[in-house]
Chain A
Amino acid sequence: MRPKWRGLVYLYILAVVLFILGPVLIIIPQSFSGGDMFSFPPDDFTWKQYEALAEDERIHSSLWLSLSIGAASTCLAGLIGLCAALGIVKGNLPGKNLLESLFLGPLIVPLVTTGIGFLIIFVPLGLVGSPLGIVLAHSIIISPYVVRILIATLRHFDHVQEEAAIVHGADSWYAFRTVVLPQLLPALISGAILAFLVSLDEYTVTIFLAQADTVTIPIRIYQYVAMDINPVVTALASVTVIVSFVLIVLLEKRFKIHKYLEM
């Protein structure tokens, strides 16, 4: 490449990186502003929003609710995903292609459609506005993230060890527990982390099922940003951004997650 072109290329890449990271990074200086949260640059430097964040009961309860829902729905999705992937790759199910589409379906069907469906079937069951309803709904929406990774891993699996265990007299459950499961564990954990993050951030389906005492954290953030205009949300957002960055670096170092994301 000629030097003149190279300069332009780097300028373009810089602009794109700014486009990608700008909206995320601007939140951090904004959280130290004492004034209008939509005015940039901030006129002063204060920890006021962080102090308010430490005392905001509504955010604490939403955070706790979202983490509990995330944990419960991830466990469910992990179990279902494991069953689905093992059934598809190693079981003897009819119409496997169709069933695989069923398991990955929640990624394709628009979230509004799924949300309305849950609303329709949960109303007669009295599950609207209950954490259980949201947990069940999330378990469906996030399960494809587990299924996809597990199917891909199982297809590249060495099945000889399992056969060896069986030949040497292990029963099905024992062979599964001691040979198959340990080898699947890294993929299962990666899928579960991804699924958990998706659950934490789920808005579209949850808004159909949530009521006054089941306001999850994304709904609370939306309320603070768009309706209450409560600047404490800048502190919450900035903590989230920093925690996410740390988490991404750690996950990349430990699990090389970018490899799992390639579709």
Chain B
Amino acid sequence: MRNMMRFYTVLGWIAVAYMTALFLYPVCKVVYTSVWVNGSFSLANYVNLFSADLYSKVLLKTLWVSVISTLIALFIGYTLAYFITTRPASKQGFWLMLIISPMFMSLTIRLFGWMILLSKEGPIAKGLSGLFGGSETSLLFSQTAVVIGIVHFVLPFIVLNIYTSLNRLESSLIEASTMLGASRLRTFWKVTFPLSLPGVFAGSSIAFALAASTFLVPIMMGGPSDNLLANMAYNSIVTIGNMGMGAALSFVLLVIIVAVLLVMGRLERRGHIAS
């Protein structure tokens, strides 16, 4: 068996070497580029990032849009996941696949579909003006459209996570609760919901990470003023040619996401211990 162990260890080291060269090294290079300005160490990019209105506004907008989208997706996702777990066991696979099927479709194409739906000549604008009169107005190229796009993008991840944790729940606990005379609502708030919290935290951390780092949604659904942090980083590098600033912006994004994931991970583990 020792030979076998050695064989797997060697394989493991090959993977570590590959990931170090092509993942860890580039990410470290990003940090290096952001603090190495004109041949010397300097935090000028970061000072600029937090003091200049241009950057700090985008930073705040990115946080706001990600939090709002995560909360909306959390509400819709929870109700959907709960609905699926109340279906007969044989039907649950079908429902789950129906809900998450857009995950397998190109995001570019999904957002294109939203552009048709929300455009000035689209069914939503026409329907609303048909019902309430008035001229056809378009939601497209607004912050609302960006939030809609993000919610649509992150929803399947949330549904999957919450469904998994609801599905693990012992049905005997719920039976016990109802048998002891608790109403359905009380059972939900006192038993089901607390026990599903790990899924809620796991789902929201993935949703927040995806929302905060989204690049494609703002450029397809938003107007020029709806750019988020990831777009700003891209524009700094490709349009303006300021590699250091782009690197700094993308590193701040990384730090925000890792911080949120760490907090959520701690809450999730606490939930696991409680159950």
The interface of chain A, by Cβ under 8 A from chain B, is 9, 12-13, 16-17, 19-27, 30, 36-41, 80-84, 86-88, 90-93, 99, 102-103, 105-106, 108-114, 116-121, 136-137, 139-140, 143, 162-163, 166, 171-173, 175-176, 197, 200-201, 203-204, 207-208, 217-218, 221-222, 225-226, 233, 237, 240-241, 244-245, 247-249, 252, 256-258, 261-263
B38-46, B47-55, B157-165, B171-179 - interface stretch: B157-165
Residues of B within 8 A of A203 (CB): 107-108, 215-216
Would you mind naming 20 contact pairs between A and B with Cβ atoms under 8 Å apart? A16-B79, A19-B76, A21-B101, A22-B113, A24-B101, A38-B120, A83-B15, A105-B23, A110-B250, A112-B233, A112-B253, A113-B253, A162-B4, A200-B106, A203-B107, A207-B215, A207-B234, A218-B107, A222-B220, A256-B93
| A121 lies within 8 A of B25 (CB) | yes
Residues of B within 8 A of A88 (CB): 12
Minimum-distance CB pairs A-B, first 4: A87-B12, A117-B26, A23-B113, A110-B213
| A26 lies within 8 A of B123 (CB) | yes
| A263 lies within 8 A of B115 (CB) | no
Residues of A within 8 A of B99 (CB): 17, 20
Distance (whole angstroms) from the CB of A41 to the closest CB of chain B? 7
| A114 lies within 8 A of B115 (CB) | no
Instruction: Please tell me if B8 contacts chain A, counting CB pairs below 8 Å.
Output: yes
Closest-by-CB residue of B relative to A154 is B8
Closest-by-CB residue of B relative to A88 is B12
CA of A103 to CA of B18, assembled, Å: 10
Distance (whole angstroms) from the CB of A87 to the closest CB of chain B? 2
Per a CB cutoff under 8 Å, which of B5, B24, B113 touches A26?
B113
Instruction: Please tell me if B97 contacts chain A, counting CB pairs below 8 Å.
Output: yes
Residues of B within 8 A of A241 (CB): 105, 109
Residues of B within 8 A of A114 (CB): 23, 26-27
| A102 lies within 8 A of B19 (CB) | yes
Other 4 A-B pairs with CB < 8 A, given A24-B101, A248-B97: A20-B98, A82-B11, A175-B4, A263-B206
| B160 lies within 8 A of A262 (CB) | yes
CB contacts under 8 Å to A, within B51-71, are none
Instruction: Please tell me if B191 contacts chain A, counting CB pairs below 8 Å.
Output: no
The interface of chain B, by Cβ under 8 A from chain A, is 1, 3-16, 18-20, 22-27, 29-30, 33, 76, 79-80, 83, 93, 96-117, 119-123, 126, 152, 155, 160-161, 163-164, 202, 206, 209, 212-213, 215-216, 219-220, 229-230, 233-234, 237-238, 243, 246-247, 250-251, 253-254, 257-258, 261
Residues of B within 8 A of A82 (CB): 11
| A93 lies within 8 A of B12 (CB) | yes
| A221 lies within 8 A of B112 (CB) | yes
Closest-by-CB residue of B relative to A236 is B109
CA of A57 to CA of B29, assembled, Å: 38
Per a CB cutoff under 8 Å, which of A26, A109, A204 touches B117?
A26
| B18 lies within 8 A of A222 (CB) | no
Residues of A within 8 A of B250 (CB): 110, 112-113, 116
Residues of B within 8 A of A92 (CB): 5-6, 8-9
Majority-rule SS of B interface residues: helix
Q: Report the number of A-B residue pairs with Cβ-Cβ less than 8 Å.
A: 275
| A112 lies within 8 A of B220 (CB) | no
Per a CB cutoff under 8 Å, which of B8, B79, B119 touches A87?
B8
| B161 lies within 8 A of A172 (CB) | no
| B30 lies within 8 A of A113 (CB) | yes
Residues of B within 8 A of A258 (CB): 93, 96-97, 100
| B106 lies within 8 A of A240 (CB) | yes
CA of A43 to CA of B219, assembled, Å: 29
CA of A48 to CA of B122, assembled, Å: 21
CA of A36 to CA of B115, assembled, Å: 13
Residues of B within 8 A of A247 (CB): 104
| B112 lies within 8 A of A233 (CB) | yes
Distance (whole angstroms) from the CB of B216 to the closest CB of chain A? 5
| A171 lies within 8 A of B19 (CB) | no
Residues of A within 8 A of B122 (CB): 38-40
Closest-by-CB residue of A relative to B203 is A263
| B116 lies within 8 A of A27 (CB) | yes
Distance (whole angstroms) from the CB of B251 to the closest CB of chain A? 7
Residues of B within 8 A of A136 (CB): 22
